[in-house]
Structures are given as structure tokens and as C-alpha cells.
Chain A
Amino acid sequence: KAGVTQTPRYLIKTRGQQVTLSCSPISGHRSVSWYQQTPGQGLQFLFEYFSETQRNKGNFPGRFSGRQFSNSRSEMNVSTLELGDSALYLCASSRTGSEQYFGPGTRLTVT
């Protein structure tokens, strides 16, 4: 069974730009969650989607948004990028909601 895939793997953007990251979950998994990982803050929950609906949201500003499509694929968008948005963005999928399987992440660098 194929694992969680994320594209692109690496991205360099300039302050003020926006970015869209993509995640394809494991086949049959309807829950997709997004996390931000930084050396300073560790692993932080961004949001979770289940059956195209946002089920939970973490404590991040409205510049961070996401969506899920009918095939469970998900995208997250960050608008008006700031230097502090530089991070590894991880996507995780789950069939049951508890056991989460992570993708390799997208490394975003904001200059």
C-alpha cells in the first residue's frame, strides 16, 4: 500500500507571497491532518479534515487554511508569508482517527 505523499518536497518563497502544499493520503483514509514542525516550537497541529469538512483547527492565524477534496486529497495554503513560516509542513492520514501516518513533509523556506 502506498504511503502518504506530499508535494512539493522543497519550496523557497519570498515574504508576502502565498504557497499551496498538497497531500495525498493512504488509500481508504478519510482523515487528513496538517502539522508544522520547527526547532523552536516542535510539532504543532494546524487542522484536520474529514470527509471534506474541517473537523478541528489549531491555534494558527487565518493566513493558514486548508481544504479536502472528495478523493480525500488535501491542500493547505499559507497567504502573506512571513519569515517565521519557514518550517517542515507535515501531513498525516488516518482511517480510524487515532493511528496517524505521516508523509515525508514539505520543507518551506521563506526569504
Chain B
Amino acid sequence: GENVEQHPSTLSVQEGDSAVIKCTYSDSASNYFPWYKQELGKGPQLIIDIRSNVGEKKDQRIAVTLNKTAKHFSLHITETQPEDSAVYFCAASNGAGGSYIPTFGRGTSLIVHP
């Protein structure tokens, strides 16, 4: 089955700095890669996603890149703000039969210091 590795497990940055979280996956059939943000006491929130036919996607301060050959994908957050502090999860899945069952990374705790 699919295996997703996520690094680092903890990331501490100063407000205004950039943050990068990296994930690798093992199954070359995976074609959908979402990122989730989970704040304390809440469920994960989908913040951005990318499909295997695209190399990069941006949404304001957030961007995701995908390298299919190396089976790497990364989340980039620019101009970090204290409200970006949360746990971020990457996931990989393939849409076999129209069903996308994600395999999640172990999460990165991002701390943004004011």
C-alpha cells in the first residue's frame, strides 16, 4: 500500500518568514495530493490540493509543488502569520473507481512566533 513520509515533525518560524513542509510517497499510481490544516480542537481543513497532471499550484500565500518523478510534494507558506500556527498534514491517494482514500503523513506542527 501507499506510504507517506512527512518532514519536519515540528517547524518553528518567525512571523513573516517562509515555511516549507515536505512529503514523499511510495505509490506511483497516486494522483491526488491534498494538504490539511488542523487547529486545536478542530477537524482537518482542506487548504490546497494538487493533481498529478500539474506541477505547481498557488493560492495567495500558499503554494504546493509536485515532483512525480521523485515522488515528492511540498507545501510552501510565505509571509507566515501567527494564525498559521497549526498542525499540517499531507496526503496521497489515487482515484481508483472514483474513490479517493488518502494515506496521511504524520503531520507537522508549525509554530509562528510573533
A, B: real partners: yes
Report how far A105 CA is from B41 CA in the complex, Å: 9
B43 adjacent to A97 (CB under 8 Å): no
Among candidates A45, A90, A97, A102, residue contacting B95 with C-beta atoms closer than 8 Å: A97
Q: Which residue of B lies closest to A102 (CB)?
A: B43
Residues in B with CB closer than 8 Å to A100 are: 34, 46, 100, 102
Residues in A with CB closer than 8 Å to B103 are: 45
Among candidates A56, A90, A99, residue contacting B34 with C-beta atoms closer than 8 Å: A99
Residues in B with CB closer than 8 Å to A42 are: 104-107
Number of interface residues of A (CB under 8 A): 24
B100 adjacent to A4 (CB under 8 Å): no
Residues in B with CB closer than 8 Å to A101 are: 46
* Interface size of B as a range: 20 to 34
Given that A42-B104, A42-B107 are contacting pairs, would A98 and B43 also be in contact in the complex, using a CB cutoff of 8 Å?
Answer: no
Residues in A with CB closer than 8 Å to B32 are: 98
Chain A, range 41-60, C-beta contacts under 8 Å to B:
42-45, 48, 50, 55-56, 58
Q: Which residue of A lies closest to B6 (CB)?
A: A42
Query: Chain A at the B interface: mostly helix, strand, loop or mixed?
Result: strand
A99 adjacent to B46 (CB under 8 Å): yes
B97 beta carbon closer than 8 Å to chain A: yes
Least Cβ–Cβ distance between A75 and chain B, in angstroms: 17
Residues in A with CB closer than 8 Å to B49 are: 98-99
Residues in B with CB closer than 8 Å to A90 are: 43-44
A103 beta carbon closer than 8 Å to chain B: yes
Least Cβ–Cβ distance between A59 and chain B, in angstroms: 9
**What 1/0 mask marks residues of chain B from 89 to 114 whose CB sits below 8 Å from any chain A CB?**
10001010111111111110000000
What are some 19 contacts across the A-B interface (CB < 8 A)?
A31-B99, A42-B104, A42-B105, A43-B44, A45-B101, A50-B99, A55-B97, A90-B44, A92-B43, A97-B99, A97-B100, A98-B100, A99-B49, A100-B100, A100-B102, A102-B44, A103-B43, A104-B41, A105-B42
* Ranked 4 nearest A-B pairs via Cβ: A102-B43, A43-B104, A98-B100, A102-B44
